[in-house]
Structure formats: C-alpha cells, structure tokens
Amino acid sequence: MLKVDVAGLELSPPLVLASGILGVTAKIMARVSEHLGAITTKSVGARRREGYPNPVVCPLPYGLLNAMGLPNPGIDYFEEVIREFKKLSKKPIIVSVIGSDSPEYVSSRAEEAGADAIELNVSCPHAGGLLELGMDTEQVRRIVRDLKSILSIPLFVKLSPNIQDIGKLAETCEKAGADGITAINTVRAVKIDLLSKKPLFKSIYCGLSGAAIHPIAVRCVYEIYEKVSIPIIGVGGVVNWESAVELILAGASAVGIGTALTQDIAIAKEIASGILEYMRSEGFKSVSEMIGLAHKR
C-alpha cells in the first residue's frame, strides 16, 4: 500500500531523507535508509568546500536555524561514498548537486558512481549567489536543459519558498526537461544575538527548517501541483504522519523528512505506520489515490 513510483524510482514507504540532514557518510545513510524509501545526500560540488565558521546552527522551540554555507568534501571524495552506500543498501540514492558549481560535471560523475537520481539545488538561502540562481528563471532553465542532455537518470530540481512565483518556476523546470520537483528548501531568515546586538551568523542570512515552515511547504506544493504534471517531493516541517499526509493531499508523490530525523531516526518508521493507518481508516488502497486530492472540487 505504501509503494509509489516517483519519476521511475520505486519508493516504499513514500518517505525520503531530505538533503543536508545525515546524508554525509555511507554508513549513516544506509542506517537511515532502513526506515525510508530513498536517500538524498548532502549537496555536493566540484571541489571541497569548507562552509562558514561557527556558529552555524541555532535550535529554536519551533524549528532550526542553520547557516552552514554548503560545506562538502567535493565529488572526488563523494564518488566513493555513493559506491559504498550502494553496497550497503538497496534503496535509491538521490545525489544533491550544487547548482552554481559545475553541475554538469558533478552530476555526470555522480551518475557514473551509481546515483539513482540527481537533485539540482538552486535554492540555498545563505550560500552566496545560490539564492539568486534560483530566482533567475532563464539560468535555471538553461542548467536543467543542459543537465538533461547528459543524464540518463531522473533529474529533480529543488526550489526555494523565497521566490515570488514558485509554481511558474516549477513549470519552467518541467518544460526544460526536469523529471520532478523538490519543494521546499529552508525559508530565508535572520537571527539577532541580543548581547552583541548583531546577526548571530557570519553570513547574516540563515535558513529556517522544522515545524514552523510546514504550512509554507504545503502552500508551495499546492501551487506547484496546479502548474506541473511531473511528481513533487514535498519537504518542510514533517514531524508526524499528519504533516506527511497533508503534503501528499496537497500534491506530493513522496515526502522528505529532515530536521525531525536529527532528534530520532526512528520517527520515519512512526510516520510510515501513521500514513498506513490513515489509508486504512479512510479507505485508500494506494498512496497514488491520495496525491493531490485536496485539489478536487
């Protein structure tokens, strides 16, 4: 009942590890994959990136702020991580690729190493020009088109909630050849330190994740579903089965879990069980029957 097909990827349950959370080493990803349908890695670039100096994380009662600056070991190192994961788990691995750092080169290397899909990250709210990249429709169109011309595996594009018309940009991605949309990335935010009276993070801007952004994620998925026919992976504030089901009803074919897994990786199993119980109680025989049901008039 919990099996779904998302752009050719068979996911059971319809839950995905969101990029940036635990997707660093093969062993950790393999362990988390036991309760999920697929894994999305940390965003990877052409070369090693150190990221921003501490502080880079700030827990809140309603979520999490981070300004990591997309630190990653680079594709040379990460190729081995992909290969090792494929030996440890049968679940699909989606490799997140930084959109402004040689995405064609990194994506082709990731595919050769065994990636099952690529997620193009054009939406980080605190890493230099990446936010601006996601706001440039023509640049996103070109990158998606160029990537599709060299890939034989599915391509998802991860979009930002900070843009004015996320549905229109998703439509642009579909027309350029994208196989799916991931929505959303973190919400752009600022945290002021009361003692220094200055922004807490060196980057000034940071990304808000967790339960606080869930209604925004639902709104974005709802808008995207109205504009595209390709599948959507809904991400943002999923902390229980209710929030996961809400995203599915809004139009998501699968649901990404991020911040909640930092507290307890077993929560994915609880969410899957909750979705299954909801389906039984409401008379659904498959997840596909639920996708976008909130749009039925």
**Tokens at 92, concatenated:** 């699909």
Q: Annotated catalytic residue: which of 124, 173, 206, 220? A: 124
Ramachandran area for residue 116 (φ above 0: left; ψ -120 to 50: alpha; else beta):
alpha
Contact criterion met (CB below 8 Å) for 249 and 280:
no
Angle, CA 285 vertex, CA 290 and CA 14 arms, to 5°: 55
- Where is 9: in which H helix or E strand? strand 9-11
Residue 124 is among the residues annotated as catalytic for this protein: yes
First to last CA, the chain: 25
Can you tell me whether residue 190 is helix, strand or coil? strand
What Rg do the C-alpha atoms of the chain give, in angstroms? 18
- Catalytic annotation, residues: 124
